[in-house]
Structure formats: C-alpha cells, structure tokens
Amino acid sequence: MTLKERYAKEIAPQLAKDLGIKNPLAVPKVLSVTVAVGLGQGLKDAKFSEMAESTITRITGQRPVKAKAKKSISNFKIREGQVVGIFVTLRGPRMWHFLEKFLNVTFPRVRDFRGITSKTIDARGNISIGFKEFLGFPEIRPDEVERVHGLQVTVTTNAETKVKGKALFTALGFPFKD
C-alpha cells in the first residue's frame, strides 16, 4: 500500500478522530514538497551550479527553477538578477512518491541520523529539514560525486498549527526524537 493510499484509508480518519475534527476536509494534509539548494559557495563557479542542478534533477525527477537575487547586496558580492539558488516544488503523485522514498529510504541512509527535532516544525504546521550532504538519497551514487553540497527539504501542509502539523508528520512516519 502506498503512502497516499495509507493516508486516505488509515491516517486521515485517525487524525480526524485524534484532533476532534468533524469535517473530513478540515483534516491536515500535505500540499507540496520543496527541495532547494543555495548556491552561496558556487556563485562564481558555473560548474558547481550545473552539478547542483543535475543533483536535484536526479533526486526529484523534475528540472529545477533558478532563484535570482531581488536586489544587490555588496557585502555578499551578490548583484541583482544573479542566480543565488535552485529549487523544485513537487505536488500530486510525484510528491507522494518522493515522501515515501524520503521516509523509507533516505532517512535510514543518512549518516549519524538520530531523528528530527520537533523544533523544525513552524507555527503554521510546515516542516523544513536541512541536509549537509545529499548522499542519503538512493539516486546518488557516491563514486560519481565531485563536490558535496547541502540541500533543504520543506514539506508544506494546511495544518494551521504546530500541534496539528506534528500529529500529521508523526502519523505519516517522520522519525521525531522528542
């Protein structure tokens, strides 16, 4: 049974019961997953940005969008219009497939992983998880990697509060340590 099917048949009804929600449309659900890489260390290096782009493409199966600087910041040597990051937003079947792979394959493969702290959930019920290296993803072969960079995964929900968000993520199987 896929994660999406499990959410529809088991998780959503249980969440409605636990949170005391009568309307099934008001049950918290995952809206999107965003995977982002900041190009801070590779602003001058075109090869680094190409490598980061190919990494995100392999991980998500979708071509990333380039995020450009809105204004110049001289202390960081950033000019207006310069590419400062890349990101992919996943929705629908790709999002559910990515989440399933993320929970069942990536977390167990991350080195020295001891769980996620609940501080990563914001006041609106979304969670942001940063990785110092992307080698935990199954699409990446460590022998092909030239330079390791970090990435951030943000799961956006309609939970509205931190308590509802934590209940949703716990039910989905996110490994919290507290």
* Tens digits of residue pLDDT in 105-123: 888 888 778 888 989 999 9
177 located within any domain: no
* Structural domains in the chain (count): 1
159 located within any domain: yes
26 located within any domain: yes
pTM value surpassing 0.85? yes
- Which residues are within 8 A (CB) of 141 and not within 5 positions of it... i.e. 6 or more apart? none
Q: CA dist 98 to 24, 39, 43, Å? A: 25, 23, 28
pLDDT band at 96 (very low <50, low <70, confident <90, very high): very high
CATH of the domain at 11: 3.30.1440.10
Phi and psi dihedrals of 86, rounded to 5?
Answer: -135, 150
164 located within any domain: yes
178 located within any domain: no
